[in-house]
Structures are given as C-alpha cells and as structure tokens.
Amino acid sequence: MLAKPLTLKDAIALDAADPLAHLRDLFELKPGTIFMDANSIGPMPKAVRQSAEGLLDDWVALRRRGWSNRQWLDMPSRLGDAIAPMIGAGPGEVVVCDSTTINQFKAVAHCLAINHPRSVVLSQNGNFPTDVHVIQGMIEASRGRLSLRFIDTEQEAIAAMDETVAVAALSHVDYRSGERWDMKRVTEAAHAKGVLTVWDTSHSAGAVPVALRESRTDMAIGCGYKYLCTGPGGPAYIYARQEIADAVWPALAGWMGHADVFGFTRDFAPHPGVKRFIAGTPAVAANELAKALLDIWPKIDPQKLWARHRSLTDLLIQLLDQECGSLGIEVTSPRDHDRRGGNVSFRSPGAGSVVEALIDHGVVSSFRKPDAIRFGVSPLVISHQDIHETVARLKRILVEDIWKQPKYKKVSV
C-alpha cells in the first residue's frame, strides 16, 4: 500500500503541535522570503538592532564606561557559555573568538604539541578546504617534520589510527553531502591509539545533536555565523577538555589568554582552561551583534531543538521525493537523521540556475558544483509550512522550465 501523500494540511498540523514554533518571533525575517541558507549565515535576532545602535552611540561619545558596561572583556566566555549546551559542553569549556580558520590552527597546534614527537595529522579528503589549508601551512612551516594523511570514510579513519598519528582533525558533518560522522566512535578509536581529536562542528552546532563531552573529544571548533547566528562574519568558537587545555601553552599565545590580563607582565603565563585560547582583543563590535544570543540559546532545550530539526528535514526529504522525484531531483543526504547535519542536499538538473531562479521566487539556498543544491534548515525560524512552500516553489520552477530562462544562466556562488 502506498503511503498517503503529504499535503499542506499535514504541515499546518505539525506546526500547531510544535513546542518551539514561537522561536521565530525572536527573529527579524524578510516577509515573503524563505531562508534555507543557514549553512551559510543564520537569521538575525530582533534585539540586534538595539545593541548595534547602543554600540554606535558609545563609539561617538567615546564612553569608556560604555565599553565596560558592555562587558566586552567577558564576552568570549559569556557567549561560549550560552552556546555550550548546544554542543554538549559545560560552562567554562567554550570561548567565542576569532574565526574557524584561526581556531583550527590553535586546536591542531595544541594537540601536536601535546603529542610530540608524533608527526602525522589525519583529515578527510572532503573536509572543508580551509581546515585542510591550515594543516598544510603548518606542514610547510615545519620543513618536513609534519605530514598529512587523508581518508574518506569513518572506517578508513579508524583503520588509519596508529602511533605515528598525533591528531585527527575532522569535520563532524560533510559540508557538501551533509553526512554526519559518529564522533564518539571515531574518538574512541583514536584514543585507543593515543591519537587526539579535533572536531569541526560548523555544520552541526545549533541544528543537530553534538555531544562534545560525552564523546570525550579533546578539542572542537566551529563557525558562529551559521546555525548559531553570531551574524555576518561573526566570531567562531573553540572548546577544549580542561586537562587538554591545561597540558601545554597555546601556540598562539596572546595577552588576552594570559592568566593576568591586565598585569602587563613581559612573560606569558597561560590562563587555566579554555580561556588561554583567546589571543587578542575580543571583536567588540562583532560580539555586540552576537550578544542577543545570550537571551536566546540558554532558554532553548537542545533536545527539543534537535527534534524540531529532525521533523523539518524529514518532511523536506519526503516532500522532495514525493513532489520532485519524477522531475530529476535526487536527495543525496543520508535519510537517517542520526547521520545528517544541518543541511539537506540534493541533485538537480541545472542546479546552479535552479538556485538563481529560487532566489527570484523568494527562496534563498546555496549551490555547490557540479550539481548539488543545499537547503540549510534553521530550526529556530523555519516552519513546516515554510518547508511545504519551498518545495512547491521548487516544483513550479522545474515543471514550468523557469530555470531555463536566460537570466538564470549566470550562476553566482
């Protein structure tokens, strides 16, 4: 027997029963636009406008007290504590600072120092380029002491762990396919061979379950501006288990990671714990834009948010199959939510042009060569009705050959 086709009515019923449906009211959304691109940038909390104005007022007045009132110095830790539950970390284990690229350097260098003289770094062929480039730069600077070993699958990663490997620097979720790795399983296999782990959780944090503590990973890093909504170019995060953080100095030792920041001593002494990874002055302006999150993330039950993401993306996959399966759309992300990250990817004829046409029809998403479309689903603001409407618009673009219009030939990335 065929299952009954899903309709708009089903989407409305799912929204009515959704305990987190009210969350979208905290965000300023462009009317008529469905934002399916949270894997590039997350939505803007309404409270951001006010903190941005206050920041500019304080700047004009050069108010020193204004800065202190903004707690600019503590913001890396306060923001870190706010997002910690979303990545399965505890208070004091995460700081928000710098970019993912820079935090990758700090984390990999830290693990290499702890595991000296082991010299091999393990990573995925399909890892996000910057994560690999950072390692390649370190190898170049090491003048041949360090080397990189690439693997493709979880099984290969586990098999590649041996006494030569210092650190496995892996992405939790493949940014193209959306496939999520089993962090605990791989970390256990690494530890059995004395290998330390650094996980990049850019495409899982704030969307799907991440359990840093429980998986006993040594360090983790990730983007703030994606599902976590720290804003355009907003700061990233870094996590370290206490004993790992305290084992050696940070390779990027700066005055803000000093045990006594305003002691102005000549010689470095690392702050205990993860705070040693704060290198220089926090990005005060960027943190002001991120500050609205202090009132959002701590109030959300992570289990409920992850369940909502599961419900939204399960519906999305079912509707893509049902409505667009015969039009050449093929979902390439894992069907099992436990193996998916924040985004759902699918193949489409003329994928780049379809994404352009979608933008014109009020759906923002992203294209990845050669033929992949990614829908990054933010469980904070996307509703089941949005999902239904998105697939309806996509279907129209395909059925009516709208994507073949000359104006959609030019594809922007």
Rounded to the nearest 10 degrees, the angle between the axes of helix 384-399 and helix 8-16 is 160
Cβ burial, residue 413 (10 Å; 0-12/13-18/19+): exposed
Residues noted as catalytic: 128, 200, 225-226, 374
Shortest spacing between CB 344 and ligand PLP, in angstroms: 16
Near ligand PLP by CB under 6 A, which window of 44-52, 126-134, 183-191, 397-405? 126-134
Q: Which of 130, 142, 281, 303 binds ligand PLP (CB under 6 A)?
A: 130
**What is the chain's length?**
413
Q: Which of 77, 177, 187, 202 binds ligand PLP (CB under 6 A)?
A: 202
Long-range contacts of range 155-158, CB-CB < 8 Å, 24 or more positions apart? 157/122, 157/124, 157/186, 157/189, 158/185, 158/186, 158/189
CA 38, CA 114: separation in Å to the nearest integer?
35
Near ligand PLP by CB under 6 A, which window of 99-107, 281-289, 315-323, 381-389? 99-107
Residues contacting ligand PLP: total by CB under 6 A: 12
CA 160, CA 168: separation in Å to the nearest integer?
10
Shortest spacing between CB 186 and ligand PLP, in angstroms: 16
Residue 180 in contact with ligand PLP, rule: CB under 6 A:
no
Q: Are strands 343-347 and 330-331 parallel, antiparallel or unpaired?
A: antiparallel
Residue 6 tokens, joined = 């899903």
Residue 123 in contact with ligand PLP, rule: CB under 6 A:
no
Of the pair 130, 142, the CB lying nearest ligand PLP is at 130
Shortest spacing between CB 109 and ligand PLP, in angstroms: 16
Residue 277 in contact with ligand PLP, rule: CB under 6 A:
no
Q: Which of 226, 21, 198 is nearest to 110 (CA)?
A: 198
Q: Which of 27, 38, 85, 99 binds ligand PLP (CB under 6 A)?
A: 99
Residue 366 in contact with ligand PLP, rule: CB under 6 A:
no
Residue 175 in contact with ligand PLP, rule: CB under 6 A:
yes
CA 182, CA 211: separation in Å to the nearest integer?
10
Sign, CA dihedral 24-4-358-38, equals: positive
Near ligand PLP by CB under 6 A, which window of 97-105, 252-260, 368-376, 391-399? 97-105
Of the pair 90, 233, the CB lying nearest ligand PLP is at 233
- Write out the binding residues for ligand PLP, residues 43-82 only, by CB under 6 A: none
Q: Which of 182, 208, 186, 205 is nearest to 197 (CA)?
A: 186
Near ligand PLP by CB under 6 A, which window of 45-53, 118-126, 128-136, 404-412? 128-136
CA 188, CA 197: separation in Å to the nearest integer?
10
Q: Are 104 and 221 in contact (CB under 8 A)?
A: yes
Shortest spacing between CB 368 and ligand PLP, in angstroms: 12
Of the pair 63, 133, the CB lying nearest ligand PLP is at 133
Q: Are 106 and 277 in contact (CB under 8 A)?
A: yes
Q: Are 290 and 70 in contact (CB under 8 A)?
A: no
Shortest spacing between CB 129 and ligand PLP, in angstroms: 8
Shortest spacing between CB 185 and ligand PLP, in angstroms: 20
Residues lying near ligand PLP in the complex (CB under 6 A): 99-101, 128, 130-131, 171, 175, 200, 202-203, 223
